[in-house]
Chains A and B, each alone.
Chain A
Amino acid sequence: MNGITHKQAQRYIRADLDGLLTAAQRLDLETHLRDCEACRLNSESLSTLTVRLQTEFHSRWDRQDGPSKQVMANVQSQSRRIHMQKRIDFAFNILGGAVTLLVLFFVITSVISQFQKKATVSNGTQTNVPASGTKSDDRLIVFTSEQDGNPEIYTMHADGSGLTNITNNPAHDLNPYWSPDGNRIAFESDRNGFMQIFLMNADGSNIAQLTSDEADHLLPLNSDAQSNPWSPHGDTLVFLQHGQAKETWTLHSIKVNGEDNTSLVTGRFSFNDISWSANGKLIGFVLDDPRNTDSNSFVPNVHVIHADGSNLLNVQELLPASDALGSPYNFRWSRDGQSLSLIASNVPISQGGYSFGSEGTPTFYWKVYHVDLESKATTLLTATRTPIGGWWQGSYFIQNFGEPTFTWVSSAGEITTFNPTKDCERIYNENTGGYADGTSSYTQSSNGNMVIGAYCPNGDMTLFLVNSQGTEFIPLLNLPDIAPSNADGSFSWIPANFAWSQDDHFIAFNIFLNNKTEMYVLDVAESIQNPSLQPVQISIGNGELYYPPSWQPIAEEDIAELAPTPEPENTPASTASEGLIVFAAEQEIYTMHVDGSDLTNITNDPAYDGNPTWSPNGQRLAFGSDRNGNFDIFTMNPDGSNVVQLTDNPGYDGNFAWSPNGHKIVYQSSSGDDPNVSQLMVMDAGAGNKILLTESTGSYIFLGWSPNGQKIVYLKQNLETNDPHDTEIHVMDIDGTNHYQWLAIIDEIKWMDDEHFVGHGWSGISEPPSWRLYKFDANGSDPTELTTTPGRIVALFRQTYLVEDLRTFAWYSIEGNTTPLKSQDFNIHCEKPGDRFMQDTNHVLSPDETRAFVTVHCSEGTTWFYFEDSTGAEFKQLSDFILSDPYQFIEANWSRDGKYVIASIASRNGGTTDLYLFDVQKMLNDRTAQPIQVTKTGVWKYGATFQPNQPLSFSLSMTEAESLTGFDILEPSFVPEGFKLAGVAYYPPTQEVVMRYTLREKGILDIYQQPGELPELHQDPAVSQYIQHVPIGDADGEYLEGSWEFDTSDTTTPRWNPNGAISLSWQNDGFAFHIIYIGVETTPPISADALISIAESMK
């Protein structure tokens, strides 16, 4: 034996397999193995395993050539979107900050603005939960029972009284249906041999046999309260007649007097969901697909036929071939009977089962279609990656197979989830070695309400009522020990269907327990008031019996009135006050009005012109151009006039960003001899005072100005080195002093105040990956790590941030603890969760950073539009406008008033984009509202932004303004005589509220209220000398006569007009106030005392 021990040898053997042995160690090992048979055997065994593994892997995978050519094509087409997204992220960062001069500019421009009264749109959400005690209920329920030993038909009142056997015949009498007027009952009976269709009165008298052919006849099974053999007028019945061939049935219609027995259509297997349209002209049913040649399978197709047997239509043939009828395979008639909606899916059903196939099969979807039966037009109403359980007038719910949680999407796009088994007691199952799960079943009524039965592993059953929008979940009933589970944790039996009365006042359902079936009847309206109320129980018979009951119809006026589904509108929004939109396309810069009118090429130069960027006051556009030989920065008026070249270096000048007050521009320059060295520069907006801030090899990503415009933050990346820490975040004053830097990868920052900002970014390579949020001190202290999260931080709001983790969003407070404020499943429409490295969602923050326009890209094929607030309290689908390709959405920008979003959306082949206007306010009220396509030119457009200088719109009431701002607005109890409140305006970027009082169109008195410090309105020493300090209570008020104004010849530089206006500013209780009076005529003047009195009255 040599110098290493057996234990060491074993370690060396393992290390050798992994290539971790040094030459000397290997020599020691080889020597040891020569002498030690046990070690040698072990080594040989491991070597054999190595060879087997390598052989197996290579034989399994080497034959594959490589990815398909489609991979390259897809990566190329989609990479364009990624690049554009990065551009817009950059562009958005440079638009932050307060705009001090804007305040005064608004005052001047708003003198001429028109007052508009905003139309309020009511929200159509409703509940339709039946009221209790609306009628004295003497209606009957008719049902089949074997309580006397053979199937008989019984009636009783809903409270269990008046139980009567109305057939009392030794034959089988079953499956009763009330006529629409509630006077007659149709039923099946074999009293004369074959099963035939009969009619009788409600008391069992006046029996009439309708059919007499020598064949079995069936009424449709009343399984879901949707099927009904009676025509709406009660004069005709439909029934099924068994054919000669096995499993062949014919649908017939017959008048209630026994005349006109008409054969309508023949099909294999039974017909499902037979029902009449409300106008009595059409009959719909689900039938085996006539094209199905597999004799053992059933492929359900929705068919419609005229009541006279003509015009049979297989509705399925109007849909794409891959869209089979979904499960549950039913359909819903429209109220006018001219159209229907149905749920379709590509889940394979062609092989006789609802097979999910093997792993790696194409992804599955569920869709809701609306089918106009006259025009044969089909409309896709929604699509999801999760099974849709039910659809009702624009709202629907989804539920993953086998999972207890339901998710509703209301017609307004609000998403609610509900787990009816969440309160189930957890029970350990020794047989399965795990905890048993609860389960549920449900039935939706024809009014959209739903009853859910939830079953716990301990056998408890709880019934819940859920309204059609999924916004109310009301416990109705708890029944202990009624649904016992099997040894393997599954349930031996749960109710399959609940039979609703027409007005949703009652439900009836069967329970099979201890080898007996009983029917339970529950008064829904009373159970809402008193969930301890117990249902009526009636014996149905021994064994497991499935006899659905029928509720006696009640008068139409007793049925809850339903609001009509809002009609989709696609009319251009009133956007007159929204100014211009600028965008770049094909090396030119264009403007147009928000509705797409007056499209103008404002550069019209053969050179490259791009990256148009509004000055904060919206009066100038900065842009990049190589019209003079290399890239330089220019500005121009919004109409393209008055072009000024700001830089004139032989190298590159670009990557620019306006300061918050529009006085300065920061930019990147490569003007030296070494093209790899670039400089970060700042200059006046008029091109003067160019200051070198820093220079180095690498690139700069500008992250933002401080609110007061005194500091900038940027990211510096050095691409030339392999130093992993060569990504730094820098902050400095705009004269290049007070320069601090930290090692960090930061994607986005948000200034908290003029000294502190927060920033987030990826931690770098780590497994699992993590994202970090830091708080930085602009004075150079070490940053504080606020959080580390395995999910990607996708949005940074004013006080919160949002983390995306595969399937969920979680909103957190920036300063708060690690418990999320709210969590939300965001990709209910997607089958695949996102990848941590992929940005599956996109959040474009509103100007006031309290809301976001959200896109969710399902990697398997669609893009959905959502709206969220900064806390997650509101998260809803914005519009049912859906993109069918995940990479069609390119970028978006909000209008400065937060009303609209302009989005750039690519064509399916990715070659061009067009701009779409989303009316956010309208869509929040009506999810069916569609965005308006405002460009129709086939070129790639990017950088579309709204002109920011929009006059304030005084269209809000005080209450509306308070609900928008979230803070109390102080209203003056005193205003000078003659002044009337014209309206309230809210300017989201600065959270300013303005109350406007007018004096018979002769003068305007605006009262501004804004959280935070008083903006520095009067910095200029030439102006501040005129300020008079006056006490406003305990506060120091600044009274001033005169105001800033802009000349039409120079819209960048404001000038002081000593006769412009009089104003009073003060600070109180965390808010800045500013009253300004502008007289159109000089008389009657308003005095300083009057302004002070107004201010005093606001305390």
Chain B
Amino acid sequence: MDSQWLAQCREGDSLAIERLVQTHQADVYRLALSILDDADDADDATQEVFLSALRALESFRGDASFRTWLFSIAVNVCRNRLTRHKSRGRVQQILQNLFAQEQAYPERRRRDPEKEAVQNETDAALWQAILVLDDKHRIPVILRYYHDLPVADIANMLGIPSGTVHSRLNHAREQLRALLKEDGR
């Protein structure tokens, strides 16, 4: 992305912004989807990423490619969303306990909410193992094996040394292998 184009985006030029979004939206969406694994959430995250980037455009220094810079914002946006999901999950659990305990007229008692889980059966054991990984290890795995990004780019996006990315990938691989072995597959 050339500097003139970026300058136009900084000035709020709608054509330049449209070009920016069109160029990168598919990649950003796929990255968000791969981390969040929820199409609607990825949609929201994609929007958030572009708005964040437009705000932070003044701070883009050009020492990484624009795409890498955009991806680093996307990873951060997605991580924050994951954190929020976890706290929401906790609330959900507490709520279920709370309503299970609630005492009132029998007819006022509320049923426990039903739990729904849609399983993707393509490689259920592997997916379950991936879900066991924490974000610190899961995100490099996704960036490496789905987005096919070089370790140096992943390091740039996550703001950590390449060696750390490599060691996280190693750790993740070993953990996945151990989990799959436990599962017998």
Residues of A within 8 A of B (CB): 14-15, 17-20, 45-46, 49-50, 52-61, 64, 66-68, 70-72, 74-76, 78-80, 82-84, 86, 221, 223, 247, 269-270, 272, 296-298, 349, 351-360, 400-402, 490, 496, 546, 699, 717, 719-727, 745, 747, 761-762, 764-769, 806, 832-833, 835-839, 859
Contacts and interface: CB of A to CB of B under 8 A. Distances in A.
B54 A54 contact: no
Nearest to B41: A360
Contact of B77 (A356, A722, A835): A835
Interface string B1-23: 00100110011101001100110
A838 B72 contact: no
A54 B47 contact: no
B150 A19 contact: yes
Given A765-B69, A837-B73, A56 B18 contact: no
A60 B120 contact: yes
Contact of A838 (B51, B145, B151, B173): B51
Contacts of B150: 19
Contact of A356 (B22, B28, B42, B113): B113
Contact of B11 (A50, A67, A83, A296): A83
B178 to A, nearest CB: 11
Interface in B84-127: 84-85, 88-92, 94-95, 97-99, 101, 103-105, 107-108, 110-114, 116, 120, 122-123, 126-127
Given A14-B166, A66-B30, 13 more contacts: A14-B170, A46-B177, A269-B108, A354-B99, A355-B114, A356-B95, A400-B91, A719-B7, A719-B62, A724-B61, A765-B64, A767-B158, A768-B159
Contacts of A723: 62-63
Contacts of B105: 221, 270
A83 to B, nearest CB: 3
A84 B94 CA distance: 43
Given A764-B59, A765-B69, A767-B72, A72 B113 contact: no
A19 B145 contact: no
A52 B51 contact: no
B54 A79 contact: yes
B132 interface: no
A839 B59 CA distance: 14
Contacts of B166: 14-15, 18, 20
Contacts of A82: 12, 51, 54-55
B107 A247 contact: yes
6 contacts: A17-B169, A55-B123, A56-B127, A71-B21, A270-B105, A360-B85
Contact of B62 (A71, A351, A721): A721
B113 A74 contact: no
A72 B169 contact: no
Nearest to A15: B166
A434 to B, nearest CB: 12
Contacts of A83: 10-12
A523 B47 CA distance: 57
Interface in B34-92: 34, 37-43, 46-48, 50-56, 58-59, 61-64, 69, 72-73, 76-77, 80, 84-85, 88-92
Interface of B: 3, 6-7, 10-12, 14, 17-18, 21-22, 25-26, 28-30, 33-34, 37-43, 46-48, 50-56, 58-59, 61-64, 69, 72-73, 76-77, 80, 84-85, 88-92, 94-95, 97-99, 101, 103-105, 107-108, 110-114, 116, 120, 122-123, 126-127, 130, 141-142, 144-146, 150-151, 156-160, 162, 165-166, 169-170, 173, 176-177, 180
A216 to B, nearest CB: 13
A215 B111 CA distance: 28
A837 B79 CA distance: 12
Nearest to A767: B159
B151 A18 contact: yes
Contact of B34 (A20, A46, A57, A401): A57
Given A67-B46, A270-B105, A354 B58 contact: no
B144 A57 contact: no
A18 B140 CA distance: 11
B76 A50 contact: no
Contact of A837 (B18, B22, B34, B56): B56
A355 B52 contact: no
Contacts of A353: 99, 110-114
A767 B107 contact: no
Contacts of B26: 66-67
A79 B21 CA distance: 11
Contacts of B33: 61, 64
The 6 closest A-B pairs by CB, nearest first: A767-B159, A402-B94, A83-B12, A724-B63, A355-B113, A57-B146
A359 B89 contact: yes
Given A75-B21, A86-B58, A402-B94, A56 B126 contact: yes
Contacts of A17: 169, 173
A727 B166 CA distance: 32
B62 A724 contact: yes
A268 B125 CA distance: 47
B54 A767 contact: no
Contacts of B7: 699, 719
Given A719-B7, A837-B77, A762 B56 contact: yes
Contacts of A270: 105, 107-108
Contacts of B91: 356, 400-402
Contacts of A764: 59, 61, 63
A225 B52 CA distance: 50
A56 B14 contact: no
Contacts of A75: 17, 21, 47, 50-51, 54
A269 B109 CA distance: 11
Nearest to B110: A353
A314 to B, nearest CB: 19
B18 A298 contact: no
Given A14-B166, A15-B166, A72-B25, A49 B51 contact: no
A76 B15 CA distance: 9
B113 A836 contact: no
Nearest to B156: A765
A58 B50 CA distance: 24
Given A17-B173, A721-B62, A835-B80, A59 B122 contact: yes
Contact of B145 (A53, A349, A768): A53
Contacts of A67: 25-26, 28-29, 42-43, 46-47
B34 to A, nearest CB: 5
B173 A49 contact: yes
Nearest to A720: B3
